[in-house]
Amino acid sequence: MQIELLNHQETFVTAPQQYVGLFGGVGNGKTWAMCLKGLQLSTKFPDNLGLVGRLTYPELRDSTKEVFMQVLRKTYPERAFKENRAENSVQLWNKSTIIFRHLDNQASLLGPNLGWFGIDQAEEADQEAFETLQSRLRRERISELKGMVVGNPRGHDWVYEKFGMKDGWNEFRHEKDWIHGQNYRMITAPTSANAVNLPTNYIEQLKESYSNDWFNRYVLGSWDGFEEQIFRIEKIRGYDLLPKMLTVLTACDPAISEKDEACNTAFCTLGIGEDGYIYDIETIAGHWPFIEQINQANSIIERLKTTYFGVEDVGYQRALAEAIRLSHPHINVHDCKADRDKIRRAKSISHIIASGKFRTNNKELLNEMISFEPTAKGKAKKDRVDALVHCCHMVQQFAPIPSMAPEVPLHMKFKTSAELFFYQVQEQEKREMQGIGQVEQEEQFGELNFNVNPEYY
């Protein structure tokens, strides 16, 4: 079957280096190319074993695996493969197997040796996950061992360092196709590289909706400007429906002036869901006089059923806290301690964002978080972030999250690290090989012409 690839996809698929990356803008076709290359390797070498990974299982299931199955069904008929949902794997007619694993559990990466692996949104994962998969890339009788990473640039992170991007500069910007040593290669392509397959106004809409920082990273595919970013934006997810809330907290960062160039007053309301996630229920900001600030606070308490309300404890702001205490004596009103060093204050709650527990649909808040950096230029307002920081401090103080309670580490159940390692290997191999052994005798697809396009098959 003939499959047409864009230039950057073809460069990625045909790259001879052992470790190849395809990064850049959203919608540039990177995941599709990774899945196609993996399928090519599984087709070319019978009894190959490939692994497709992403940080969390929901994203692996709903996004990455879905793309792989689309590529597979577009390439071969249903009778050419068998999906084992219980084992989260697919076996081809030639006994090659592809397994799908989330990367936030190191034990799930242990097991049989691999012929290839691909990490989707690699910037979300840790370097240890990549290096663990590297150590498994030694399957016998496979002459083309391959490790692939695709994603969006996240500044000067481990991907940047691992693929030698710091050396990949031309006169104005990073090279679009950079070869680092003999084994590493990184291809970078903006969203526009796949414009033929996107809606006509897709890029224009993104530029109108998001900040310049977001646009540079997620559309233009820039590697610069994010090395000092405080918040791990890629760890944040949206939500469709709010679960039942165990606790609802609101924090207010008031401002005095009503002038347009002055700071806004911001209210951030977070809810602790029964599923253990922190939900941004509502974050708003505006130029409001004191009386309107009180009205906004009253509205939030009544609409969102706030049980804890925090107000920055500086100057006239204390009057707002006292007004809320008088109007709502049943509410726990908290005096939020101010810190002139907003960067230090933000860093103190950055671990909550990095944990992947934060959920929001608020584009204005996301834009502020993206550009909230120590070296950020200009005087862009960050009032929503200030309110969020105060509210996260209240979460830590008044609403500990049940699911964040530490579990007994697996290694504590074994006397030695060797016992732990062999247990993990045996369990993982048992899960993977059980599914492989149950596959029925498949039809031999000798009638399929795999040589029609040898460049890809």
Residue 375: predicted pLDDT: 45
Structure token digits, residue 317? 């702001």
Q: Are 280 and 268 in contact, with CB atoms under 8 Å apart?
A: yes
| pLDDT tens sequence for the chain (457 residues) | 567 888 999 999 999 999 999 999 998 899 999 999 999 999 999 999 999 999 888 888 889 999 999 999 999 999 999 999 999 999 999 999 999 999 887 777 877 899 999 999 998 888 889 999 999 999 999 999 999 999 998 877 889 889 988 787 665 566 789 999 999 999 999 999 888 888 888 888 888 887 777 788 889 888 875 545 678 777 888 899 999 999 999 999 988 766 656 688 999 999 999 999 999 999 999 989 899 999 999 999 999 999 999 998 877 678 889 999 999 999 999 998 876 667 777 888 888 888 889 999 998 888 888 777 644 444 455 789 999 999 999 998 887 665 443 444 554 455 555 555 556 666 666 655 554 444 333 334 433 333 323 332 2
Residue 260: predicted pLDDT: 59
117 exposure class (CB count in 10 Å sphere: 0-12, 13-18, 19+): buried
Distance CA 267, CA 260 (A): 18
Distance CA 217, CA 386 (A): 23
Residue 378's region, left for phi above 0, alpha for psi from -120 to 50, else beta, is: left
Q: How many secondary structure helices (H) and strands (E) does the chain include?
A: 15, 15
* Residue among 155, 163, 148 nearest 52 (CA): 148
Distance CA 326, CA 334 (A): 13
Q: What are phi and psi of 112, to 5 degrees?
A: -60, 155
Distance CA 122, CA 149 (A): 6
Distance CA 280, CA 189 (A): 33
Residue 211: predicted pLDDT: 75
Q: Are 309 and 297 in contact, with CB atoms under 8 Å apart?
A: yes
Structure token digits, residue 190? 């903006």
Distance CA 303, CA 134 (A): 52
Q: What ranges do the domains of the chain cover?
A: 7-202+429-437, 233-404
Structure token digits, residue 15? 């790259």
Give the DSSP H or E segment for 396: helix 383-398
Structure token digits, residue 219? 């559309």
Distance CA 380, CA 73 (A): 48
Give the DSSP H or E segment for 318: helix 317-327
The 3-state DSSP class for residue 301 equals helix
* Residue among 81, 64, 63 nearest 72 (CA): 81
Give the angle 335-340-343 at the CA atoms, nearest 5°. 105
Q: Which amino acid is at 370?
A: I
Residue 366: predicted pLDDT: 85
User: What tens digit of pLDDT does each residue of 211-266 get?
Assistant: 777 788 889 888 875 545 678 777 888 899 999 999 999 999 988 766 656 688 99
* Residue among 361, 392, 368 nearest 382 (CA): 368
Structure token digits, residue 421? 């390692």
Q: Which amino acid is at 455?
A: E
The CATH architecture of the domain made up of 233-404 is 2-Layer Sandwich (3.30)
| DSSP secondary structure of 375-388 | T--S----HHHHHH
Structure token digits, residue 366? 């996301």
What is the distance of C-alpha 11 from the center of its chain? Answer: 25
Structure token digits, residue 390? 């105060």
Pairing of strands 116-120, 146-151: parallel
* Residue among 151, 163, 158, 161 nearest 128 (CA): 158
Instruction: Give the DSSP letter of residue 12.
Output: H
Distance CA 311, CA 301 (A): 13
Residue 171: predicted pLDDT: 52
Structure token digits, residue 112? 């049989």
Q: What are phi and psi of 261, to 5 degrees?
A: -80, -10
* Angle, helix 65-75 to helix 30-44, in steps of 10 degrees: 60
Distance CA 101, CA 50 (A): 11
Residue 426: predicted pLDDT: 64
Distance CA 69, CA 168 (A): 34
Q: Which amino acid is at 375?
A: T
Structure token digits, residue 276? 């253990």
What CATH superfamily classification does 7-202+429-437 receive?
P-loop containing nucleotide triphosphate hydrolases (3.40.50.300)
Residue 454: predicted pLDDT: 30
Query: How far is residue 411 from each of residues 29, 112, 127, 403, 432, measured CA to CA in Å?
Result: 40, 21, 21, 20, 22
Q: Are 270 and 283 in contact, with CB atoms under 8 Å apart?
A: no
